[in-house]
Amino acid sequence: MYEQGVIRPPSEASSLLLRVTRNCPWNQCLFCPAYKGTTFSKRSVEEIKKDIDEMAKEYAGYHIKSVFLQDADSLLLPTKDLLVVLQYLNGTFPGIERITSYARARTLKRKSVEELKQLKEAGLNRIHAGMESGSARVLDLIKKGLTPEEIIEGGKRVVDAGISLSEYIMPGIGGRALSEEHAKETARVLNAVKPDFIRVRTFAMHPMSPMQKMVKDGTFIPMNDQEVVAEIKLLVEHLDAMHSYFSCGDFSLNLLMQVDGYLDEKKAFMLSELNKFMALTKEQKQAFILLQRSGGYMRYPIDTVKDEKVMEQVRPEIRKLESRGEDGFDAHIATLMSYQLPQPQTDEWN
């Protein structure tokens, strides 16, 4: 019938998924399992058109409002080919209001502002870019294959072209050793780019990740939830009060999903929520973390754990986990978080 890739951003949950490229051209990031065991390729315009035709048959009678171009870096297609695809897509589904895509900063840097403006005029409304960090040392550590300067240049070109830009950041990805640098340098890069959205994706380590070896040999020390919240607080403190939407609310691995809103309107509120968590006792923090991580999509106000009746119910489980060893509690939480990660498409992840 037609092809579809394995992932899309949470905000594209209701979008039609159109595969423009297959898999990821870089595919070396140590934290990402999504495309491991696969090979990157560009699809021809004719292949893509045939898929659009098939989709038109399947969704006849539906009002398609949004489309996401897959996979990891659709803008690697030549601009002239993308323009043909966008024109054909809009002609086939005339009710489309939004077309979005993933793209790597290095690819965006290679597109001129004029090319990006042409893509916008043809219907490309938003680009999702995974910067993860603004620290050169963190980017090297995780084998991101980007520099902070490339992130800034690529991002600014998108902003200058008038296309909405979502930058994804990953608290905790630098580990304890680089946490402060990760927060401050990420804020510096974001302040330079001024993206429309800053989407927070708290790092959780997949059991098959090669980063597990880094933990064993001591080159990477994972951060617990309490440390990650402190890192996010430092990041928010160093972000300008710009009209960028800081989003924790669209990702379930973020502990404090209420830290969410435009920085120029809600920065003080977000810092107050972060400070409220930081002011809890160690046991109250553990209780809150356990409730959040064990409750699925259930969310609890921070003040929940100030109720002694709640603490009486949660305390025995905290003690049980701590009895497993010094890191018993944190190890349990890390396991709960890993259950929510996407699975690699191969048993080998090198």
Rounded to an integer, the average pLDDT of 76-83 is: 98
Q: Look at residue 339 and tell me whether its pLDDT is greater than 90.
A: no
Report pLDDT for 208: 83
Q: Is 0.85 topped by the overall pTM?
A: yes
Report pLDDT for 245: 98
Question: Beta 98-102 vs 164-169: how paired, if at all?
Answer: unpaired
Total of domains in the chain: 1
Longest dimension (CA), the chain: 64
pLDDT tens, residue by residue, 94-120: 999 999 999 999 999 999 999 999 999
What Rg do the C-alpha atoms of the chain give, in angstroms?
A: 21
The region that residue 269 occupies, defined by phi over 0 for left and psi between -120 and 50 for alpha, beta otherwise, is: alpha
Q: Is residue 336 in some structural domain?
A: no
**Per-residue pLDDT band at 6 (split at 50, 70, 90):** confident
Q: Is residue 291 in some structural domain?
A: no
For the domain that residue 145 is a member of, what is the CATH number?
A: 3.20.20.70
The count of other CB atoms within 10 Å of the CB of residue 164 is 17
Q: Is residue 29 in some structural domain?
A: yes
Report pLDDT for 340: 83
Q: Is residue 273 in some structural domain?
A: yes
Beta-carbon contacts of residue 65 (< 8 Å; ≥ 6 apart): 14, 95, 96, 97, 98
User: What residue numbers bound the domain in which 185 lies?
Assistant: 10-281
Report pLDDT for 344: 67
pLDDT tens, residue by residue, 39-48: 999 999 999 9
Q: Is residue 330 in some structural domain?
A: no
Q: Look at residue 346 and tell me whether its pLDDT is greater than 70.
A: no
Q: Look at residue 188 and tell me whether its pLDDT is greater than 70.
A: yes
pLDDT tens, residue by residue, 275-308: 999 999 999 999 999 999 997 767 899 999 999 9
For the chain, give the mean pLDDT: 95
Q: Look at residue 56 and tell me whether its pLDDT is greater than 90.
A: yes
Report pLDDT for 265: 98
DSSP string, 9-77: -GGGTTSEEEESEES-SS---TT--TTTT---EEPPHHHHHHHHHHHHHHTTT----EEEEESS-GGGS
Q: Is residue 235 in some structural domain?
A: yes
Q: Look at residue 345 and tell me whether its pLDDT is greater than 70.
A: no
Rounded to an integer, the average pLDDT of 65-80 is: 97
Q: Is residue 28 in some structural domain?
A: yes
Report pLDDT for 128: 98
pLDDT tens, residue by residue, 223-259: 999 999 999 999 999 999 999 999 999 999 999 999 9
Report pLDDT for 64: 96
Q: Is residue 300 in some structural domain?
A: no
